[in-house]
Structure 1
Amino acid sequence: MELPLVSRARAHGDRTAVVDAGGAHTYAELLDASARVASALLAGGGDLGEARVCFLVPPSFEYAAVQWGVWRAGGIAVPLAVSHPPAELEYAIGDADASIVIAHPHVAETLRPLAQAHGARFVTTDGALAASPSPLPAVDEGRRAMMLYTSGTTGRPKGVVWTHANLRAQLEMLTGAWGWRAEDRTLLVLPLHHVHGIVNVLSCALWNGATCEVHAKFDADAVWARIESRELTVFMAVPTVYGRLIAAWEAAPEERRERMSSGCREMRLMVSGSAALPVSTLERWRAISGHTLLERYGMTEIGMALSNPLHGERRPGSVGMPLPGVEVRLVDEEGGGVEAGTPGEIEVRGPGVFLEYWRRPQATAEAFRDGRWFRTGDVAVVEGGYHRILGRRSVDIIKTGGFKVSALEIEEVLRTHPAVAECAVVGVADEEWGERVCAAVELRGGSALTLDQLQPWARERLAPYKLPRALVAVDALPRNAMGKVTKPDVAKLFA
């Protein structure tokens, strides 16, 4: 039995699958390269039998070949982050109990000792791609396919296990919801150890016979150059990327701005996700590009669950409605349903929801209500059928003075202050208020702002109990590899 992703690729043999710094690579070349990788991993054996294969390969054709090679050999693909230091790489290798570690030659000397320390076989991408093809095993879709590690902001990172069936459910769902087709050409500027880059961009493109251009690192000028070419049809990114593209557009000469905006208007779809998209960013991007960014909601454990429509109203500040085949409900702290317009925790079930946390049965059990509904930890409210995210229950819902307030809502207001370029609001323990509302702000060039100056301005726009009770100005907010602000690190600024 051949995996659907592989069998579908055979129908697109001569079409271009991946374009990277090394040139264009067809689907036929991807099938050949991944078969060679699979044979190298098998090393004469018949089936990896769900052995974990950790790999550190920059975004490229080689990345796709290695990922597919692990799957075709019957292994579990565990992509490592190119941005992580050795200690974090070693943690993932050890926690996954990896049997094999694959590394690009540029990082081989970093990975080799880590693999040896855990008794894993070490392979370079060059060596794997040079192997001779051999018979490959049949791989059932019910088997484990991929393990992605959580960010670990509230504890040690956990391995989130997806089956091949989970992956297929996501790809079929997103193909229909976002209109993927073989004629599409997308540009990947996201890291490939998260769902956003792996599933929403690379795998969706390859599932549909489309072309995925890969940039190993984000560069605003290079992205704009590709948009100006008018060859791209789909672009997906995080809010931070859109912010940098806006800054590059504003810094460009008028003649080039016209080409940039014209290139955007030739594209059929532009998507934002992985973090809350400020309404101000959405509106500015719409003015520049003519696109109302499609916002959606998902996470490592569930893939995508909610989305604004491809055709129809896209509401600023909203992540839309449940995707086809996904059930979503909002519940109170006791697990009871809430009325429309009342905040509640998002719970999700469907064929794309992950199988388990790797070797953590208790954590897996606690993550599901009644063994069926995954408890996301995110709080939302439904307004007119559209979901609006209020934030993480653990870090974005602040209990202050007897009220529950959304840090994300306060941030939206603070971003409209003329001195504020970006901000993050957190709750810090306080004897009087329960939690103190604290704001960290990145100031616009040459601006200054004090708490005494901010509070009168904010009082006109927010109920008094929502006012920040502490303020700190920073050169840059702490962010992770996806450009997402890390709230636990922001809270440390007020310790």
Structure 2
Amino acid sequence: MLENFWKDKYPEGVSSEINPDSYPNVLAVLKDSCQRFANKPAFTNLGKTLTYGELYTLSGQFAAYLQQHSGLQPGDRIAIQMPNVLQYPIAVFGAMRAGFVVVNTNPLYTKREMEHQFNDSGAKALVCLANMAHLAEDVVPKTGVKHVIVTEVGDMLPPLKRLLINAAVKYLKKMVPAYNIPGMVRFNDALAKGRGQNFTDANPKSEDIAVLQYTGGTTGVAKGAMLTHRNLVANMLQSKELMASNMTDGEEVVICPLPLYHIYAFTFHCMAMMVSGNHNVLITNPRDIPAFVKELSKFKFTGFVGLNTLFVALCNDEGFRALDFSKFKVTLSGGMALQLATAERWKKVTGCNICEGFGMTETSPVATVNPISNIQLGTIGIPVPSTLCKVIDEDGNELPLGERGELCVKGPQVMKGYWQRQEATDEILDAEGWLKTGDIAIIQEDGFLRIVDRKKDMILVSGFNVYPNELEDVMAAMPGVQQCAAIGVPDEKSGEAIKVFLVKTADSKLTEEDVKNQMRSNLTAYKVPKYVEFRDSLPTTNVGKILRRELRDEELKKLGKQ
């Protein structure tokens, strides 16, 4: 057991331990930070800035509305389905203050995905962007959702600008399909109704669930990771501890292009930056690189949280390369593997090193990270404070340093388990609190870890987990499909791209476009395959299980990567 192995591996000034019980819950951190940093900027989006004091006031108004008008009971789940807009932190913290559990929901979900998540979580309420409300109109009647709150992109802006932005999105860009949800409430009306009303701030126990964060796991069936208040408090303190030597409380300006509904951005921007009183600049659409760069030009930012795909796109942009990087000092990378060439180019363009880490939804998410003062490219760093790692063989035996095995993580940020899925929980989390990650790693003599392979078949597209089983279920439902399989293949832009293989029945007239259209109508865009290949047969075991590994190996050979 490497119990004390990492004690002396932390840089000077960084403690090897944090106290996850120094705050009883996330709300205690919120209250403390919003008082200490009341006049400091918390979030900026579309030219509007909310201070920490304003965030506390508005989240209180939303909490009051929910307690007085929604009919929800303490512990009920509320789905929040928004991109990076100011309404997101108001809704999340308002829901928590009202005593409810947040269910983060991807705004790009299809009806099928929404229906599964709302039903699985037992969500009783939904806060969504108007752009997705037409989907909610069809999905909500098939779920237990009884209360729907709809917001438009510009709702937190001053009146005239709000009117212009919302009209442009709806009428010029035609991004808001018509919808009709009986009993729906507008977000700003909810805030107005909550204003001045009494409400009781919730005081959840540290082991109570704060967030149900959905992840596919190895089975492809989306499961809710139960992240407790203690999990989130631990991870925000762990992240803060490793950045403390490079970041000053209340003084940093950190760019947030990754979606807040994703656990990586959620924990960093809504949690770790909150406890530090720092300023988060929310980017609603990072795919629009020119608009993104224009927004960046307005700030002398000090930090940036991103992933490999985004770093590549920005470095290729002339406007980005011309920005003022004089205050820039911290870049964090996660969600997908950081490529060495990308890290080197980013450093050349910005003067700032990229600090790579590793985590999972099940670890809230940060498990390891490169200390900012001691970055070792090609590794995922060292365990964050109060965290242990080990690698095991297929029989569960711990392996010595330098040997490859499945990476396991233990710490106060490890989830409580999967929501209403004890069997799936038992497969990944043992009685001692060790979480199996499904990734194959090596622990080096210096304490740094390297991921060398993936045990699971998961495909990682631009930082998003895609699970072959889900893709194969959709393909298998198509008439004329006899066999199918999905794998990830290397891709310069997205890290991995999806390639699917199909064996058609003798009479099938199925085309590549038919397959892609079927996937588009049932799955989020990033799950749609880039490549479709029809074959006469697929490699299988003697019991007929399709061997995805063989398909991957064939593709790598074609690319000369094996």
Pair in the same fold by TM > 0.5: yes
2:90 to 45, 65, 68: 65
Deviations 1:80-136 (A, max 9, x none): 111111211111111101121222344334324433332322232233222223221
Deviations 1:217-272 (A, max 9, x none): 103233334444452111010111111112214xx5xxx73x33xx3352110011
Counterparts of residues 418-437 of structure 1 (less than 5 Å):
429=539, 435=550, 437=552
Counterpart CA distance in 2 for 1:358 and 1:131 is 33
SS at 1:155 equivalent: coil
Q: Contact 2:33/2:52 (CA < 8 Å) preserved in 1?
A: no
Is residue 382 from structure 1 mapped to residue 443 from structure 2 by the alignment? Answer: yes
- Determine the structure 1 residue equivalent to 2:156: none
Counterpart CA distance in 2 for 1:267 and 1:230 is 10
Counterpart CA distance in 2 for 1:244 and 1:82 is 23
Counterpart CA distance in 2 for 1:104 and 1:317 is 39
Matched positions, count? 422
1:246 to 294, 310, 315: 315
- Determine the structure 2 residue equivalent to 1:276: 337
2:79 to 41, 46, 54: 54
Moved more, 12-21 or 295-304: 12-21
Residue 154 (structure 1) shift: 3.1
Deviations 1:419-462 (A, max 9, x none): x9976699984789983554669xxxxxxxx94xx65xx6xxxx
Q: Which amino acid aligns with 1:240?
A: T
Deviations 1:271-323 (A, max 9, x none): 111001111211222222222210000010011111111112x1221111111
SS at 2:309 equivalent: helix
SS at 2:44 equivalent: strand
Q: Which amino acid aligns with 1:390?
A: V
- Determine the structure 1 residue equivalent to 2:417: 356
- Determine the structure 1 residue equivalent to 2:383: 322
Q: Contact 2:118/2:144 (CA < 8 Å) preserved in 1?
A: no
SS at 1:264 equivalent: coil
- Determine the structure 2 residue equivalent to 1:178: 243
Residue 369 (structure 1) shift: 2.7
Q: Which amino acid aligns with 1:192?
A: L
Q: 1:52 to 1:431 in 2, by over 3 A?
A: closer
1:136 to 184, 195, 200: 200
Q: Which has the higher contact order (CA 8 A, sep 6+)?
A: 2
SS at 1:43 equivalent: helix
SS at 1:65 equivalent: helix
Counterpart CA distance in 1 for 2:289 and 2:552 is 34
- Determine the structure 1 residue equivalent to 2:367: 305
Q: Contact 1:77/1:147 (CA < 8 Å) preserved in 2?
A: yes
Q: 1:63 to 1:440 in 2, by over 3 A?
A: farther
Structure 1 residue ranges, 4+ long, deviating more than 4 angstroms after superposition: 44-47, 226-230, 420-434
Counterparts of residues 190-339 of structure 1 (less than 5 Å):
190-218=258-286, 219-229=288-298, 231-249=300-318, 257=321, 259-260=322-323, 263-302=324-363, 303-312=365-374, 314-339=375-400
2:226 to 139, 142, 161: 161
Q: Contact 2:34/2:56 (CA < 8 Å) preserved in 1?
A: yes
TM-score of the superposed pair, with normalisation by structure 1 = 0.78
- Determine the structure 1 residue equivalent to 2:99: 74
- Determine the structure 2 residue equivalent to 1:43: 68
Q: 1:183 to 1:50 in 2, by over 3 A?
A: same
List runs of 5+ in structure 1 lacking aligned partners: 398-406, 442-449, 459-466, 468-495
**CA-atom RMSD, angstroms?**
3.1
Q: 1:267 to 1:226 in 2, by over 3 A?
A: farther
SS at 2:316 equivalent: helix
Q: Contact 1:47/1:73 (CA < 8 Å) preserved in 2?
A: no
Q: Which amino acid aligns with 1:138?
A: A
Q: 1:37 to 1:435 in 2, by over 3 A?
A: same
SS at 2:362 equivalent: coil
Q: Which amino acid aligns with 1:88?
A: E
Counterpart CA distance in 2 for 1:421 and 1:362 is 33
User: Equivalent pairs: percent with the same residue?
Assistant: 25
Q: Contact 2:43/2:282 (CA < 8 Å) preserved in 1?
A: yes
Counterpart CA distance in 1 for 2:74 and 2:551 is 51
Counterpart CA distance in 1 for 2:102 and 2:382 is 31
Q: Contact 2:122/2:144 (CA < 8 Å) preserved in 1?
A: no
Q: Contact 1:206/1:212 (CA < 8 Å) preserved in 2?
A: no
Counterpart CA distance in 2 for 1:345 and 1:370 is 18
1:85 to 110, 124, 142: 110
